[in-house]
Amino acid sequence: MKNVSKKLITPNNRYLKPTIKMFRTSMNLNKAATVSAALRRPTLIPKYIGVGRAFSTSPIAMSTTKKVLMVLYEGGKHAKEQKKLLGCIENELGIREYIESKGYQLVSTTDKDPEPTSKVDKELKDAEIVITTPFYPAYITRSRIANAPNLKLAVTAGVGSDHVDLAAANEKKVTVAEVTGSNVVSVAEHVMTTILVLVRNYNGGHRQAVNGEWDIAGVAKNEYDLEDKVVSTVGAGRIGYRVLERLLAFNPKKLLYYDYQELPPAAIKKLNDTNKLLNGRGDIVQRVEKLEDMVSQSDIVTINCPLHEGSKGLFNKELISHMKDGAYLVNTARGAICVAEDVAEAVKSGKLAGYGGDVWNQQPAPKNHPWRSMDNKDHCGNAMTVHISGTSLDAQARYAQGVKDILESYFSKKFDYRPQDVIVMNGEYATRAYGQKK
C-alpha cells in the first residue's frame, strides 16, 4: 500500500496507550456577510429531513455540495442535559461546523433500518464519506456500498468496524478507518466491573437491598473473591492487555491469554514484575495456543478480540462444554462472537455461573433477546448492559477528536492517517486484527 506505513499493528505498538491530541476548533463567523460573499459561499440552513431523527444542511445557492453522512443514536432530553454527550445525533460529535467549513454538506440521521428503504440508503447513494458508530451500528453492507458510487471513506466513531463489509470496501477501494485506542481504558474498566459484579454476586445483594430483603446466605452462597482465580482473555491487544494489567491488583492465581501472536517480551516482563511487586509471586502470564485448553483452566474468561469470520460464533455449545462448571464468561467485544441461545442455556443450566457484557448480536437488541431474560435459579447470572462500555463521556471526547483528525487527513488530501487507525485502504487489509491479513 502506498499510503499506509508498514508499522501498522506490531507487537510493540498495538497495546500501548494511544496519544490522541485533544484540541478544540473554533470558527469565526462573519455576521455581516455581503451579497457577493453569500453568492460565493451559500448560507447553510439546518432542516429536518425524512423518517426518524435526521438533520441536513440546505445550500441556498449551490446544490452540488459534496456530502458527509453521519449515523448516530438519538440523545433526546439527555443531549440537552449533557453537552458532553457528543456521540448522539443532536451533538454530531461536535464537528458539524468543521465539516461545513470544508465545503461539505452534513446529513445526520438515526434512520438506519430497514435496508433498502431507510434514510441511510437514500442519503448514502451520493455520499462521499459515511461516519458510523459501533454503539448504534448502521451496517454498511455490500449492497449499500455497491449503491454508493461516490463513497471514498467510511469512518467508525469508536473502535470496531465489523459493521462495514470490509471485503466489499476493498473491492471498491473505500478506505475504512476507526479511532483506535480511543476507548480502550473505558472498555477495560467495564470488563473489570462486569467480572466483579458476577464473581461477588453484586446483583443478588443489590436486589435484596432494593426489595427490602435481608438473606445473607442467599447471596453469600454464590459469592467469591477474585483473588487466587485463573483469569483468561481471548485477545491480548490494546484492551485485553489492559484487562490483564488491571487484574494484577486482585492477586489472581494465573493470567492466561489466547492470541494469534505472542505479547512482546517487554509487555510480559511488565506483568510479571508488577505481580512480584504487588503480590510477591513469580511469573503469572502465560500464552495458551489451544483455546479449548485455556477455557478449561479458567475460572473467568473475558473476550477482547474483534469480530471476523474466524471469531463469529466462536463461543458455542461445544466450546462452552470445555469450560469449568460454574465458570464466568464476560464479553465486551462483539455479541456475535457468542451464540446467544447457547450462552443463555449454559447460564440457565448452571454450566456458566454467569455471563455479562454490553454487546449484542443485534443492536439495538429486540425486547425478546434471550440475554435480556436469561438467568440461573438464584437470579445472579446475568450482568448484561446496553452497549456502553466504550462510550463514556471521556471516550466520546477522544473518538470525536479522532474522527475529526481522520477527516482532516482526508480533506487535506494528505491521507496521512495514523497507521493504527486504518483497517482497509487502497484495496488492501491493513491489519490482521480482522483475521484477513497473513
Indicate which residue of 316, 363, 426, 432 is catalytic.
363
Report the helix count and the strand count for the chain, using DSSP H and E: 16, 16
Q: Known binding site for substrate: residues? A: 159, 183
| Alpha-carbon gap, residue 371 to 341, rounded angstroms | 8
Q: Residue 409: which of 48, 47, 55, 21 has the closest Cα? A: 21
Indicate which residue of 105, 170, 183, 396 is catalytic.
183
Phi/psi region, residue 418 (left: phi>0; alpha: psi -120 to 50; beta: rest), is beta
Write the single-letter amino acid at 432.
R
**Grid coordinates standing for 239?**
484492551
Does residue 363 have an active-site annotation?
Answer: yes
Does residue 24 have an active-site annotation?
Answer: no
Does residue 200 have an active-site annotation?
Answer: no
Q: Residue 258: which of 233, 237, 239 has the closest Cα? A: 233
Q: Known binding site: residues? A: 159, 183, 238-239, 259, 306-310, 332, 358, 387-390
Does residue 387 have an active-site annotation?
Answer: yes
Q: Known binding site for NAD(+): residues? A: 238-239, 259, 306-310, 332, 358, 387-390
DSSP of 355-397, one letter per residue? EEES--SSSSPPTT-HHHH---TTS--EEE--S-TT--HHHHH
Indicate which residue of 53, 190, 334, 418 is catalytic.
334
Indicate which residue of 387, 398, 418, 420 is catalytic.
387
Phi/psi region, residue 50 (left: phi>0; alpha: psi -120 to 50; beta: rest), is left
- Torsion angles phi and psi, residue 346, rounded to 5: -65, -35
Residues designated as active site: 183, 334, 363, 387
